[in-house]
Amino acid sequence: MLKAIIFDMDGVLVDSMSDHAEAVQHIFDEIGVEMDKQDIFEREGERTVDIMRFLLEKGSEDASGFDIPDIVERYIAEFNRIAEFRVFEGMKECLLYLKDKFDLAVVSGSDRPIVQDIIRSEYPGIFRGLVTADDVQRGKPEPDPYLKAIEMLGISSHEAIVIENAPMGVEAAKRAGLCCVAVPTYLDPGKFHQADIVIEDHKRLIEFLLGLEHSYNCNHSAKS
């Protein structure tokens, strides 16, 4: 029996990844380290600290000389300065309908201040639980964030479905034993081979979500 729907945030609930990439670019320009914005999209879902560490190791000869927590704090401040929270059309109305049928939660690789600000601003009173990068020691693609979410909701893995838009998030959900629907917001659909279902865009995702019933069985759904 389907009891809960768990959502990634960036790229699923809000169209924010370009702002994340731009904020990181600004900070890396300040510290004099080259980076490729595509890496941000490829590694979306990981904890910010892990993404920063990867980028520093890739873009500098010696990453040990950088204060990563300080860089993360500067990035958060810059993101908050430049970000424009663009909610995907129809998602808020969809979730307002779903919250009376299912328990809803968010699992995000972003830091708690960013997640809380976005959810309180754009989706107030909708989600029963939030899991952020600050709540786990191991972020996506490890299963820990999703395992924490189902524990928080008091359900079993077969009683929830995950909506993701990043390969690392899909991997985390599957390693936690969860059914996972992917919407390829920023990447080629071919990168989501681990997902149970791939839905081409948010319009069709909303149609899928509004059609969900408690009897939904992921194992009976063919990949698209």
Could you read off the pLDDT tens digit of each residue along the chain, which spans 224 residues?
A: 999 999 999 999 999 889 999 999 999 999 999 999 999 988 888 999 999 999 999 999 888 899 999 999 999 999 989 988 799 999 999 999 999 999 999 999 998 998 999 999 999 999 999 999 999 999 999 999 999 999 999 999 999 999 999 999 999 999 999 999 999 998 999 999 999 999 999 999 999 999 999 999 887 554 44
DSSP per residue over 49-98, as a string? HHHHHHHHHHHSS-GGGS-HHHHHHHHHHHHHHH----BPTTHHHHHHHH
Look up tokens 């069985």; give the residue: 217
Domain covering 17-82 in this structure, CATH number: 1.10.150.240
Identify the burial level of 196 via C-beta atoms within 10 angstroms of its C-beta, where 0-12 means exposed, 13-18 middle and 19 or more buried. Answer: buried
CATH for 4-16+85-220 (3.30.470.20, 3.30.530.20, 3.40.50.720, 3.40.50.1000): 3.40.50.1000
Q: Where are the domains of the chain?
A: 4-16+85-220, 17-82
